Amino acid sequence: MSRRTYIRIASYIIVSLSILIATSIINTRDMISYRDKLEVSYQQSLCELNECLENVNTDLTKSLYSNSSGEIYDISRDLYASCSVAKNALGRLPVSQLELANTYKFLTQASDYAQYIGAKIEDGEIISEKERNNLLTLQKYSEQFYTESSDMVRIAQAGGKIINGDIKSTVQLPKSALSNSFSSSAKSFESFPTLLYDGPFSDQVLNKKSSLLASSKELTEDECKSIAADCLGISDKRVSFDSVDKSKLPCNTFRSSRYTVSVTRQGGYIKSILYSGSINSSNISEENAVNIASEFLKNIGYKNMQENYYSTQNNICTINFVYTKNAITYYPDLIKCGVSLSDGKIVSLDASTYLTNHIERKKFSPKISENQASSLLSPYLTVNSSKICVIPKENGKEIRCREFNCTSSQTGEDALIYINCNTGKEEDILLLLYTDNGTMVK
């Protein structure tokens, strides 16, 4: 064999090896890219599942606190929807690898039972003691599954990989988890009719026109500028015009250093304040922050605002104030005000909900007494306090209610129950959450 032939054969071998190596590298890179995309998809589905399980837990907890067939029917409908979305998310995950079979079983039982409860109420029947106990059992398991999925999300966020088997469920659902009456009565029906905090009812009915602004005088740009400057405690010269907001609450927006202030063109109300700087320390208490915010609201024209709840994050205490007059709390009229815990300065304000909903309302006396209303509550609740209030509904109407702050004898959790002052109907249930950052509701 000639030298030229050896060289030619060697060249072919080198080229072939190069092609094989290059192909291997490309395939490996494509495989890594595919695995990365698959991991992202899995983690998104896991986060969605976690959110749905939280909703399921919330719905089941509310069902324990309700003593109204209508409210339980609405909750069961929400519960069924939450379970369906959760099972959807679960279907996009490697169930066997994550050992989530018990989660799927639980969601199926919960959704079936939601249908059963809904259908029973539609037929005019009353929920029995045994059926309430089944709801309690489901609620306890929903809490376990939600806690477990939250832990799984945290592991994923810390770098754990679903594909690599770093994340697994450990919650077990015994066959005897539910009573015999559950398995025999939770049937599948062919058809069934198809819900951070900002405070109770804060985001309801923001889409309507403001009666308050409609009846107010229109101001010039200079007049709005003076109001913005007064709000910040500075001279007009230090404030510059930024833009016009043509939303349902038309405003002139101004800037000064790190502050942005929006003033309504009708009435000259402060709609919003935003400070863009960072706050790196905490030197004052939340109680002090509440007092500072309350005084500030009075100074800029928002009278009769009562502190309701607050939360603290990133050294900012955000307080939710609601309009209160004649010992009646008007939840539609909400203002959120943020105070720096570093120096007590106002760093945020959102009065959109107040400006949208506030009107002068007629004083009223409840037709149903406090004792009558409390007798309509679930027997599993102990009343801590009560007050008269007005709450908004999704259809835009306002409902006069008695609000009861209660504690459940079954779970030990606190809740707010709203009983219609005129009819005795249970209008809404909110769960109270106590955290290191403040009190929240859901």
Of 436 and 48, more confident: 48
Q: Is residue 339 part of a domain?
A: yes
Of 180 and 245, more confident: 245
Q: Is residue 202 part of a domain?
A: no
Q: Is residue 398 part of a domain?
A: yes
- Encode pLDDT of 207-225 as tens digits: 578 899 998 999 999 999 9
Domain boundary (185, 201, 236) is at: 185
Same domain membership, residue 259 and residue 172: no
Q: Is residue 28 part of a domain?
A: yes
Query: Is the predicted pLDDT of residue 263 greater than 90, yes or no?
Result: yes
Please state at what angle helix 101-122 crosses helix 129-157, rounded to 10 degrees. Answer: 140
Dihedral of alpha carbons 102, 79, 406, 312, sign: positive
Same domain membership, residue 353 and residue 250: yes
Same domain membership, residue 156 and residue 36: yes
Residue 344 and residue 160: Cα distance in Å, rounded? 41
Domain boundary (170, 185, 200) is at: 185
Kind plus residue range of the DSSP H or E element containing 335: strand 328-340
Mean pLDDT of the chain: 80
Same domain membership, residue 69 and residue 112: yes
- Encode pLDDT of 405-421 as tens digits: 999 988 888 999 999 99
- Give the chain's domain count: 3
Kind plus residue range of the DSSP H or E element containing 340: strand 328-340
- Encode pLDDT of 126-173 as tens digits: 888 888 888 888 888 888 888 888 888 888 877 777 766 666 555 554
pTM given for the model: 0.62
Q: Is residue 217 part of a domain?
A: yes
Q: Is residue 200 part of a domain?
A: no
Same domain membership, residue 379 and residue 287: no
* Other CB atoms within 10 A of residue 425 CB: 16
User: In sequence order, what are the residues at sequence separation of 6 or more whose Cβ sits closer than 8 angstroms to the Cβ of residue 358?
Assistant: 211, 212, 323, 330, 332, 333
Same domain membership, residue 328 and residue 181: no
Same domain membership, residue 341 and residue 409: no
Phi, psi of 434 (to 5 degrees): -100, 115
Same domain membership, residue 317 and residue 242: yes
Tokens representing residue 112 in the block: 């079936």
Of 368 and 206, more confident: 368
Answer whether 176's CB lies under 8 Å from 169's CB: no
pLDDT at 291: 96
Q: By residue range, what is the domain housing residue 396?
A: 370-441
Q: Is residue 89 part of a domain?
A: yes
Across 125-139, 345-359, 390-404, which has the greatest mean pLDDT? Answer: 345-359
Same domain membership, residue 173 and residue 303: no
Q: Is residue 59 part of a domain?
A: yes
**Residue 408 belongs to domain with CATH number:** 3.10.450
pLDDT at 21: 60
Same domain membership, residue 376 and residue 310: no
- Encode pLDDT of 64-99 as tens digits: 888 887 888 888 888 888 888 887 777 777 755 566
**Lowest mean per-residue pLDDT among 141-155, 188-202, 383-397:** 188-202
Same domain membership, residue 59 and residue 156: yes
Beta bridge partners of 359: none
Please state at what angle helix 3-65 crosses helix 101-122, rounded to 10 degrees. Answer: 30
Measured CA angle at 383 (ends 382, 385), to 5 deg: 155
In 3-state terms, what secondary structure has residue 320? strand
Same domain membership, residue 135 and residue 14: yes
